[in-house]
Amino acid sequence: MKAFLSHSSLDKEIVREVANQLNRFNCIFDERSFDSGVEFQKSIEEKLSLSTVFVFFATRNSLDSNWCKFELEQAFYSKLKGALKRSIVFILNDDVEIGDLPSWLTTALIKKVSSPSAIARDIKHRLEEAAEEFQSPVFLGRSKERDLLEEALNPIDGSKPPKTLAVFGLPGIGRRSLVRNVTKDLFSLHKCVEIEVEAGETLNSLCAKLADIIEPYSCQEELRDIVEEINSLSETEALLRVTNNIQSVMSANELPIFVDSGGLTLDNGCLSNFMNRVIESVEQLPDAYICLVLSRRISRDNDIKLDSVPIEQLSGRASSQLLSKLSLRSSITLSPENIRDLTDYINGYPPAAYFAVKQASIYSVDALMSDKRKLTQFSQKRFITHVQDHNLTGEDIQVLQVLSNYSPLPLSCILSLYKCERSEAHDRIYELIDCSLVRVQDGQLYRIADPIKGAVNEVFGYPSNQDLKVVKNNLNQYIDSAQDEHKLEISRVLFRLGFTLGDEKATKNGIKLNSDYIKLLENAYHQRKYKEAIEIGMEAINVNPDSAKAKTFLIKALIQEEKWDAAQKYLDGLYPLDEYRNVYYLQGFLERKKGDLAKAIEAYSNAQKHGRKGFALYREFSHCYLMSGDLESAQKNINEALRIQPNNNQVIDMAARIAIKKDDQESAQKYISQLELLDTPEHYKLRLSSYHLAFGRPDLALKYAREAANVGGQRFFSGRVQLVKALIKGGELAEAEEELSKVRSDFPKSKNDIKIALQSNLELEKGSSSNALRIVEGFVDKTSKQYKGIKARCLSNLSKDITISYEQRKKYKKDLAQFGDFHDFNLDEIDS
């Protein structure tokens, strides 16, 4: 969609400024678009044929110009053929009357405007109107909010209607979309103009932003002079100019929307002083309105009483409708089952729905449905900053941790987590609601704002058992007095709390539905509580025997705990509950974890033959080939994964590992830099440590390994393995021994071969090859590269030790010959 800018060369200065604001993607401007080597007339004909909107800048100069007359004639024929969808005339000065225009243009939109910013916004609006339906946003499920906005503008108590409207909610939840949608109905305006209010904003800087939007200027130098003039104004003068410019914006049929980017509200929820003054001034204008878009409710202590309308997450029904409409628009077929499944993942957050459909469009519906983690990561990354931006107390964080996993809860349960005075606790809860972190359900119960659930767990972790016990005890007391309409929901929460805490009484008092077990199972697996996940998984498949999801999570938990036989047993029974492609994929995961790389590759190949697609499959292939030493195949597969999903953290991580193994320091550094943005801090620091370890920087490797293990916590096995490796390489052998002992204690019945590999390497670094040789025989999988590599190093060292009898050394050499090049194995290759 492009606009053709027809103008006289004598008016070039202002038209050039309009073109700068539109950018070359939205407009055809002769200085940029016409080829110098092509006849001018031919260029006009060619570019007009590519245009959707014809814009004529009417001055006496353009009306007298032969080239403009030719453009007007060609535009008329283009309109007759249906190529031009819209025509606009901007009269730039008083020398031109409507009667001076060609007759066919007198029916077009004609405006007398001299501000380049206002002209550019008008053109963009016409381009949007002319765009195909799929280019405009879908608007659904906001009838409640529309009603609240209408009520705010028409107070039922008979008081004077406000001139300022305020909405608040999470970023991206639909605040601006709602305002834009209702502007025409509520204010009889056709457009909105947004002004970002940043931290450090003053009346003068706000005035400069409004001047750019509506005041006339023709070039950058003139705009600079306007800004300098505004900066020299007193506050009173700046306020008057702000008010006049707001009135001018309204006269241009636009609603000014002030969007909070750190400058509208203070930490206490009150509006900044300069904004209160603007609101007071707007109240005095006869026909002017403004709208504030905020991330929190305006405090009751604000100098001016101003109601703000909450914009909450979309309902499940509206989310489903949004997915359905977006998929139709993109010519993607999502089944009702797909839509139901995805609705749970987007959590009422509209950008996540757009992201899901885009992912399906690029990578296929199958790829999206088989790996929905990207949806979770998308919302998490969007809200991590929002969650961190608030001055939360430790008790606030405890409340969010509990609600993110056990919603809804009554007020008494929330209050039980605060140790302060009851009045202060109430204020803290109001603050969480005002900041859009917690929402009230039916005026009775409290829930986490669903879109931020993942971000809360990502930033603050999961609730402690001590906090859960406090909540559980209060919920037990509350249930008997709860209203019937809410009893089922909170009884289910009580059941899940009791089950998690091993409290039989609470579990019995609660009410369970089949889906509760699957929620508990997913929650435990994602917290890496694999033993707990196995226990819950057994219960889950008893009550949900036909649930492929329950069996899949159980199998994955069994694999993580190295319960190979049990995992295989349930895997053998997964078909026909799940498709062969997913069964074979899980089989590949099992074989890779067992260390049988050939069988893993075979299983993944079968998954591919049965229709399994996507980056995750190629990532798994590359992992297997990397571990087996086939770097060429590993690179080939990771390249394919990168082609499909260039911004996936696990794909980037695997690419970094392959680059490290290939001694490609430049590529490894590039991928690890991407990980800093895409992955969690602990995984980024883990890979950064392995990078420095591989390239001979043990001090840095140890520094980042400590940070990774510290951030990741006790259950972050990979981080703790990396710490032991870095300690060994850094010569900190006593600390390495101590840390390895803790790892063995924390993971007593799993990860056997990795623990043996670390202990063997520690003995080798101590100079005790005989101890290392004895220890390495504790390997379960003696076909693995790690076993062969470590044993070969032991035999190589012992065969050269002249303190050992010659006969024994000959035997070591004979044994070593069976291992070929495996004595080149090094510590970096221990794969956790």
Determine the structural domain holding residue 123 and report its residue range: 3-135
| Percent residues over pLDDT 90 in the chain | 36
CA distances from 423 to 95, 419, 428, 731, 824 (A): 68, 11, 9, 56, 68
Q: pLDDT tens, 636-659?
A: 999 999 988 887 788 999 999 999
**Same domain (yes/no): 68, 32:** yes
Q: Which of 286, 310, 334 is a domain's end point?
A: 310
**Same domain (yes/no): 129, 184:** no
53 falls within a domain: yes
**In this structure, are residues 829 and 785 in contact, taking their beta carbons and an 8 Å threshold?**
yes
For residues 574 and 383, what is the distance between their CA atoms, to the nearest angstrom?
36
pLDDT for 135 equals 46
535 falls within a domain: no
For residues 435 and 133, what is the distance between their CA atoms, to the nearest angstrom?
34
97 falls within a domain: yes
CA nearest neighbour of 600 among 578, 579, 628: 628
**Same domain (yes/no): 363, 289:** no
**Same domain (yes/no): 284, 206:** yes
Q: Is it the case that residue 771 has pLDDT exceeding 70?
A: yes
Over residues 557-576, the mean pLDDT reads 92
Q: How many domains does the chain have?
A: 4
Q: pLDDT tens, 228-247?
A: 899 899 999 999 999 999 99
Give 203's contacts (C-beta < 8 A, 6+ positions apart).
Answer: 235, 238, 239, 242, 274, 277, 278
Over residues 415-434, the mean pLDDT reads 90
Most confidently modeled of 213-227, 338-352, 425-439, 693-707?
693-707
Q: Which helix (H) or strand (E) holds 437?
A: none
**Same domain (yes/no): 90, 170:** no
What's the CATH number where 193 sits?
3.40.50
Structure token pair of residue 484: 């019937």
CA 793 and chain centroid, separation: 46
Q: pLDDT tens, 181-212?
A: 787 777 777 788 888 887 778 898 899 889 88
DSSP code of 162?
Answer: P
Structure token pair of residue 2: 């492009």
Q: Which of 70, 102, 135 is a domain's end point?
A: 135
pLDDT for 466 equals 94
Most confidently modeled of 28-42, 155-169, 450-464, 724-738?
724-738
800 falls within a domain: yes
Note the residue count of the chain: 832
More confident residue, 20 or 798: 798
More confident residue, 364 or 610: 610
Q: Is it the case that residue 486 has pLDDT exceeding 70?
A: no
pLDDT for 378 equals 57
pLDDT for 528 equals 74
517 falls within a domain: no
**Same domain (yes/no): 126, 227:** no
526 falls within a domain: no
pLDDT for 450 equals 72
CA distances from 370 to 312, 343, 507, 610, 617 (A): 29, 15, 33, 14, 11
381 falls within a domain: no
CA distances from 762 to 633, 694, 731, 765, 796 (A): 32, 17, 10, 5, 16
Over residues 587-614, the mean pLDDT reads 92
**Same domain (yes/no): 239, 278:** yes
**Same domain (yes/no): 61, 47:** yes
pLDDT for 375 equals 62
Over residues 81-88, the mean pLDDT reads 78
For residues 84 and 546, what is the distance between their CA atoms, to the nearest angstrom?
58
Q: Is it the case that residue 683 has pLDDT exceeding 60?
A: yes
pLDDT for 134 equals 38
For residues 132 and 556, what is the distance between their CA atoms, to the nearest angstrom?
46
Cα 767–771–775 angle (5° rounding)? 130
For residues 272 and 742, what is the distance between their CA atoms, to the nearest angstrom?
53
Mean pLDDT of the chain: 85
**Same domain (yes/no): 158, 273:** yes
**Same domain (yes/no): 154, 299:** yes
**Same domain (yes/no): 7, 46:** yes
Structure token pair of residue 436: 């859009």
Listed range (299-303, 370-374, 678-682) with the worst mean pLDDT? 370-374
Q: pLDDT tens, 141-192?
A: 677 777 787 777 777 666 788 889 999 887 777 788 888 878 777 777 778 8
Q: How many CB atoms lie within 10 A of CB 80?
A: 10
66 falls within a domain: yes
For residues 4 and 28, what is the distance between their CA atoms, to the nearest angstrom?
5
**In this structure, are residues 733 and 711 in contact, taking their beta carbons and an 8 Å threshold?**
no
**In this structure, are residues 637 and 622 in contact, taking their beta carbons and an 8 Å threshold?**
yes
Give 418's contacts (C-beta < 8 A, 6+ positions apart).
Answer: 395, 399, 424, 425, 428
Listed range (212-221, 278-287, 429-438, 802-811) with the worst mean pLDDT? 212-221
More confident residue, 276 or 450: 276
pTM above 0.75, yes or no: no
pLDDT band at 133; cut points 50, 70, 90: very low
Q: Which of 352, 371, 390 is a domain's end point?
A: 371
pLDDT band at 132; cut points 50, 70, 90: very low
For residues 151 and 147, what is the distance between their CA atoms, to the nearest angstrom?
6
**Same domain (yes/no): 301, 226:** yes
Q: pLDDT tens, 514-549?
A: 778 887 888 888 777 888 899 899 988 988 888 888
